[in-house]
Amino acid sequence: MNKIYTKVGMAVMLVAVLGLATLQSCRKEQPTVAKIRVVDTSGTEFPEAMVRLYPTPTVVEHGAIIIDDTMWTDIDGFATFDYTEMFNLGQAGFAVLDIEVRSGDTLYGEGIIKIIEESVTEETVVLQP
Report pLDDT digits (tens) over 2-61: 666 566 556 667 666 665 555 555 667 889 999 999 999 999 999 999 999 999 876 666
The SS3 of residue 9 is helix
Amino acid 28: pLDDT: 79
Tell me the β-bridge partners of 36. 79, 123
Q: Could you state, in order of their start, the residue ranges of all structural domains in the chain? A: 33-126
Pairing of β 50-54 and β 78-82:
unpaired
Domain covering 33-126: architecture: Sandwich (2.60)
Does the global pTM surpass 0.85? no
